[in-house]
Structure formats: C-alpha cells, structure tokens
Structure 1
Amino acid sequence: MRETQILEKGTAHSEPKEIQGHLMCSARSSAMDRMAAEIGHALNNHLAVVSGRAELLVFNIKRGEVNRALQSAEIISEQTERMKRLTKILMNACVWDDRKAECKINDLVKDLILFIQPQKRFEGVEFVLKLDEELPTVKIDRDQIQEVLFNLYNNAAEVMAGGRITTRTEYQREGNSVRITVSDTGPGIAEGLERKVFEPGFTTKKGGHGLGLAVCRRIVRDHGGTIQVKSRVGEGTSFVITIPLDGTGMAGKNRL
C-alpha cells in the first residue's frame, strides 16, 4: 500500500515537470518561428531595395550618370552587407553543436577590435580596453562569443556620432566566472525598455530587425552565462556578460 502511495506521489510530481518541459520546448520553438519569420520579412525588404537599385544602376550607366550609378552601387553593397548579417544571425540561432574550447578572452577582444576598427561603420569611434591581465582562460565557442561582442560594438557605433566604446574584463571569484562589460557613450535606452531589448523583433532603430540581441542572449545562455543591460538616457549603455570558466551551458537546449 505504501509502495502504491509512493508511486502515485512520484507520478503526481513528474507530470508537472513533463508538462513544464513541453511548454518550454513549445516556447523556444515559437521564438525560433518568430525569428525565422522576422528574418524572412527583413530579407525580402532588403532584396526589394537591391532589385530596384540594380535596375536603376543599369539605367544610370546607360545614361552616363556616373555619380548616380555609384550611389546605387553603394546602396546595393550596404543592403547586401545587411543580408549577410541576417543570414549569419539565422545560422547562429540554428547551430546546435558544442564547439567550446579553452580561450583567452583578452586576446579574443583585441583580435576582434583590431579587425573591425578600420571598417567605415566604426569611423570616429574610440575603443578603450580595460582588461584584467590575470584573467584565466574560459571554455567557449570563440566564433560565437566574437559574434556577441561584434553585435554590441556595432549597435553602439550605430547610435553614436563618434563616441567611445569601453571593454572591461574581470575575473569573478564568486561563481568562478569571467565578466565582460561593453559600455558606450551613446544616447542610452529609454526607461522601461531595457527588459525588452532581448526580445526577438524588438528594435528602436529605423530599419532594424531586432534579432541581434536575441541571438546574443541565446549564445550567452548556451555558455551557462547571463547578459544584462544597464542604461541611462543621455549617459550611455552598458552590457554585462558573465560566463563560467568551464562554459557549462545547455548547448542545444536553452534556445532563445
């Protein structure tokens, strides 16, 4: 009789967990569906611009309008770059492989900034590094964490006319983790919107798709970490990433 009671009690406890698991999977699937739809819509818009500008480019060339032809070519190039970023976001969102390896975060930050600093989008931006030189290595997917930082740098540059981006790394003994803080001197985020910035589809930028930060959060969570935003209007925004040294995330499970 007691054995029956234990089994019934166990069943009663397992059902909510099973239901909760199904609900979580359903929520993640729904988030992925929304993201795919948003990306498809954004790609379609960019393709429409490229198609229209390509026709105009041919027309300009035939009429010998060199300056207008160059303008159309620049717009096509810009739209193509945006489409490349969207496809990369989609690919990152769908990657389920665990490709983590020991990595020096400071070297990753330096290499990334060295690569992106000459790009036109970062023209006039000052990069400041405050790196903990005694930072231990951390087990991460280097490409994915670089993608997270690139998104943060790119977002900051888009809202600043010049300005400064500061990257700070610190070792957190409590929790045995690495903290990466990316701060800018931009206009800041309006009060009440901080909690929405990681939602797929949410954006305050004209022409933005609102997917970059959602993928950033997914990548950080897959490393067992957290990403938070702190902002004050008129003073700038900081994103704080914390990742455990062993990179123990829920790879392939904790989607968005």
Structure 2
Amino acid sequence: MLPVAIHKRVYIITVCIITLLMILFAVTTIRSVEQLYRDKEAQELMTMAAVLGQRLPPSVGKVLSTPEFSIMPEHERRAALERDCQPVLDEMTATHPGYSMGYYFDSLKVIAVAPVRSNVSGSNISYPSLTDYVPRVLTVPYIENDESWDRQPRFTLTYPLLADGNRVGHVWVSVKMENIEKQVRRNAGWQIAGVWILWSILLLLMRSIFNKMDKTLALLAQEIQEGSEHPDGINQFPQLIPVLNTVTALRANLQSELQKKERMDQEIARLDRMQLISQMAAGVAHEIRNPMTVVMGFVQMMAQKAEEKAKTNFAIIMDELKRVNEIISDFLSLARNKDFERRKQQLNEIISSLHPLIYTDTVKQGLDFVLQLEEPLPEVYVDGKEIKQLILNLTRNAIEAMGEEKGMLMLKTSHNKGQVELCISDTGCGISQDMLDKVFDPFFTTKAEGTGLGLAVCKNIVEHHHGTMQVQSMQGQGTTFLIRFPAAK
C-alpha cells in the first residue's frame, strides 16, 4: 500500500500549493485593481483640472495685469478674483459631486474653493505650488487645519494655472480616498468570490482525479501482490512499467530459486532414503540369496523325482523363487556402487538389439509397437547392460499399464543441444498428478503385486550415467518417460 500513501501525500501537497497560488493571485489582482482605479481616477482628475484651467475667465488676466490691482487692498483683490472664479468651480462641482477643487494664486493663496467651506478663505494650505508646467499626482493622507478636506485621506492633483501666457498659480482637484477604496473593495469582493469559486472547482476536480488514481493504484497494487505480470491499470502509469518489470523478474527469480530449493530438498531426502536402503539391501540381500540358492537347488531335485501332477506345483514354486531372486537383484542394484563399464556406444544399436524381445511382449498383449530412431545419432558413454535393463524395465511397466486393452508403445530417439534423448511413451491408464513426484521413490507402487523398486532402479541407472529422467502423465491418457544422456565428445 506504499504507492497509495505517497499518492495521498502528493494530493495534500498539491492542494496546499494551489491554495497558496490562489491567495497570491487574489492579492496581486486586488493590488492591480487598486492601481487601475488610481490610474483611472488620476486621469479623471487630470481632465477636470485641465478644464478648470481652460475655463479661467479672461477677466482674471486683465485684473491681474492692471496697475490698479497691485495697489488694491488684499481683501478687495481676493474678492475681485473670487467673483470671477467661484462660478466656474460651482458649475464643475455640480456636474462632479464628491470632488473638491480650487484656484490658488501665488500672490493671494487660495482664492476660491468648491464645495464652499466657511473658513477656507485666507487659510494657509501647506501644499507646495508647482514650479514647472508638468502636472503631478500627489496622495495627501492628512492636511492639518484644513477642514475643506474633512481631515480624511485624499487623492489630489495639481495643474498649472496660466493667465495671458504667464503662470499665476495652480488649480487643484481632489477626491476622497474612501471613494476609491469603496470601488476597490466592491471589485475585490467579486474577485475573491471568483477566486473562491475557481479554487472550489479545481479542488473538486483534483479530488475526483486523485480518487480515480487512488482506486486505480489500489487495484494495481492488489494485482501486483496477486502476481499479475500485466495488470490492467499499468498503462495509465507508464513510469511504473520498469518497476513492475523489475518486481516481476525478482518474483520469477525467487520462485525459480524456491523451486530449485524444493527439488534439492526432495533429492536430498531421496538420496538419504536410497542410502538407507542401500545399507539394508547390501546386508539383507546376500543373507537371503544364499539360502534361496539352496532352496532352489532342492526344489529342482524334487521336481525331477516328482510325479507329473506334482511337477506343475514345483514349476509354480520355481517361478516364485525366481521372482524373489529378481527382487533381490533389484535390491542389489540399488545397493551397490560399482563402477559401470562405460564406453562409447550407439543408443540406437542397444535399442535395436532389444527390439525382438520388446516386439514379442507387445504382440502377446495385442499392442502396437512404434520405433522411431533418429539417424545419425551422436554416441554416448554408457554401460550397455545397464541401459538394456533401464529400457526393459520401462517398456514392461508400460505394457503392464496398458493391460489387455488396445494401446500403443513408442520408443523414440533424438538429440538436442549436446544431449541424446530417449522417449518411451504408452497410452495406458496414466498416473495421477499427486503421485508423479513419488514414482521414483523406492517401494512406491500403484500395482497390486509391485515392489516399487523398478523405477527407483531406472532413476539410479540414469544418474550414474550423468543423465536426467523426467516423467509426464495424464490419468487415462498415458505416460511418457524422457531420458537425456550427454553426448560423447
């Protein structure tokens, strides 16, 4: 479940990153909107100030240029200019409510303002005059002793004032910052609502995608745990394909090693049993064979002197004694570790020498016999007598397995990759799958009168020739023994 845990952590980290980006986007957007409204308001103030400058009555210039004006008392000069300027301001204020504006003359300070305040005239506004003709935008958060600005932050713009081509002062226009902030807050509310809706949609979309990925990864992990080499969801995560291939290879190697270990354990157990049987057979077989020889001799003597009716019984006794002797020989075959007389021989020649005997046995049982010998066949280092015993044991087992029913016995030779192969197959009753692993164990047999030593002896012969022996069988379809010997160099 490790990939799922990582997947959830990625989901949480992604949500946090998107949330931070959304917050940053909202803050940046609000600041951009605020600056946009400031620029828009500055343009409006610029337009209004320019209009006020253009609407300055021509009489103002004449009044300022007359010699009599300079010798008039200050309050008379102020009143003369105010009569001409105040109507212009009142008209502009009527069409632009919420704005404050006024005319400022360098020699007389404030001449006229709108909207009109009771104590504005004659007040000394701490506001610098323009020294050039380039308008400036200034933000004045607070101006002391200036009730005309309501002691509130304002957004103010000044504009040079000309009369007859000469600069005589400036005009100023201002608006409360509160008006701009209201518009910004209103727009910010919509911006935040839009960002929240977008964030919610993205969150739901991501949750849906990650939930789907979560289920896919969970199913993928389950299929991998169950050993599937090609899970259905792996194509959605191509980055995991190399990992899956590695896991599959490791699992295959592990299974192969476990199978090797299991076969090795079985082989060790079989060798232990064989060793025990060898020790028993070496002592018991000789102890039994010696008395058996004496018994067989006396039975033969008695059979020669017996009447004709009794000779049949003596013949049965001799057959059974021979059968016991064969069992003892099988014991000795398992017990002795003699050196085989191996030499280069043609496996086909050994089989051909046994062909008449095997053919006779199959004909007696009414069976078909098929012989397929590959030519040319590499030579092998074998003991001819032991190989004959191997082939006869396997063919007679096959004939007994087919019984009286019609069937076919086939011997086939071939060679492959430096090995000579001998295949003996029949169409008999077959062996059940749960017994296949036990067929080479000593004393294991499915026959009513079998000793269970025949296949153990065959296995022993093959291994002494550095070969391998395998069996394949299906119950009711037959059995095949495949023996491989290394080709002689």
- TM-score of the superposed pair, with normalisation by structure 2: 0.38
Give 2:428's match in structure 1, choosing from 174, 181, 186. 186
Note if 1:134 corresponds to 2:376: yes
For 2:472, the equivalent position in structure 1 comes to: 230
Question: How many residues end up aligned between the 2 structures?
Answer: 221
Counterpart Cα distance in 1 of 2:399 and 2:286: 22
SS in 1 for 2:433: coil
Q: Which amino acid aligns with 1:153?
A: T
SS in 2 for 1:201: coil
Q: Does 144-153 or 40-49 show the bigger shift?
A: 40-49
Q: Offset of 1:73 from its aligned partner?
A: 1.0
SS in 2 for 1:192: helix
Q: Does 116-125 or 151-160 show the bigger shift?
A: 116-125
CA contact (8 A) 2:381 2:487 kept: yes
Q: Which amino acid aligns with 1:191?
A: Q
Q: Offset of 1:114 from its aligned partner?
A: 1.9
Counterpart Cα distance in 1 of 2:280 and 2:363: 27
Over the matched positions of the two proteins, sequence identity in percent amounts to 31
For 2:413, the equivalent position in structure 1 comes to: 169
SS in 1 for 2:469: strand
SS in 2 for 1:187: coil
Q: Which amino acid aligns with 1:33?
A: L
**Larger RCO (CA within 8 A; separation ≥ 6):** 1
For 2:256, the equivalent position in structure 1 comes to: none
CA contact (8 A) 1:124 1:161 kept: no
Residues 47 and 126 from structure 1, CA distance in 2 versus in 1: closer, same or farther, beyond 3 angstroms? farther
SS in 2 for 1:238: strand
Q: Which segments of 5 or more consecutive residues in structure 2 lack a partner in the other structure?
A: 1-266
Q: Offset of 1:189 from its aligned partner?
A: 0.8
Q: Which amino acid aligns with 1:32?
A: Q
Residues 80 and 121 from structure 1, CA distance in 2 versus in 1: closer, same or farther, beyond 3 angstroms? farther
Residues 42 and 157 from structure 1, CA distance in 2 versus in 1: closer, same or farther, beyond 3 angstroms? farther
CA contact (8 A) 2:423 2:481 kept: yes
CA contact (8 A) 1:93 1:215 kept: no
Q: Offset of 1:122 from its aligned partner?
A: 5.5
Note if 1:31 corresponds to 2:274: yes
SS in 1 for 2:396: helix
Q: Offset of 1:134 from its aligned partner?
A: 1.8
Residues 90 and 52 from structure 1, CA distance in 2 versus in 1: closer, same or farther, beyond 3 angstroms? closer
Counterpart Cα distance in 2 of 1:183 and 1:94: 29
CA contact (8 A) 2:415 2:421 kept: yes
Note if 1:94 corresponds to 2:336: yes
Counterpart Cα distance in 2 of 1:125 and 1:38: 36
Q: Which amino acid aligns with 1:180?
A: L
Q: Does 26-35 or 149-158 show the bigger shift?
A: 26-35
CA contact (8 A) 2:362 2:368 kept: no
Alignment of 1:13-32 (within 5 A): 28=271, 30-32=273-275
For 2:392, the equivalent position in structure 1 comes to: 150
SS in 1 for 2:434: coil
TM-align CA RMSD: 4.0
Counterpart Cα distance in 1 of 2:430 and 2:452: 17
Counterpart Cα distance in 2 of 1:211 and 1:26: 17
Q: Does 52-61 or 28-37 show the bigger shift?
A: 52-61
Residues 48 and 196 from structure 1, CA distance in 2 versus in 1: closer, same or farther, beyond 3 angstroms? farther
For 1:106, the equivalent position in structure 2 comes to: 348
CA contact (8 A) 1:116 1:122 kept: no
For 2:211, the equivalent position in structure 1 comes to: none
The runs of at least 4 consecutive aligned structure 1 residues that moved more than 6 Å come to 24-27, 38-63
CA contact (8 A) 1:50 1:79 kept: no
Normalized per residue, the structure richer in helix is 2
Give 1:214's match in structure 2, choosing from 435, 444, 456. 456
Residues 93 and 132 from structure 1, CA distance in 2 versus in 1: closer, same or farther, beyond 3 angstroms? farther
Structure number with larger C-alpha Rg: 2
CA contact (8 A) 1:121 1:157 kept: no
Counterpart Cα distance in 1 of 2:381 and 2:306: 58
Q: Which amino acid aligns with 1:207?
A: E
Q: Which amino acid aligns with 1:233?
A: Q
Residues 121 and 50 from structure 1, CA distance in 2 versus in 1: closer, same or farther, beyond 3 angstroms? farther
Q: Which segments of 5 or more consecutive residues in structure 1 lack a partner in the other structure?
A: 1-23, 248-256
Q: Which amino acid aligns with 2:391?
A: L
Q: Offset of 1:154 from its aligned partner?
A: 1.5
Residues 80 and 59 from structure 1, CA distance in 2 versus in 1: closer, same or farther, beyond 3 angstroms? closer
Residues 128 and 25 from structure 1, CA distance in 2 versus in 1: closer, same or farther, beyond 3 angstroms? closer
Counterpart Cα distance in 2 of 1:197 and 1:98: 25
Residues 119 and 45 from structure 1, CA distance in 2 versus in 1: closer, same or farther, beyond 3 angstroms? farther
- TM-score of the superposed pair, with normalisation by structure 1: 0.69
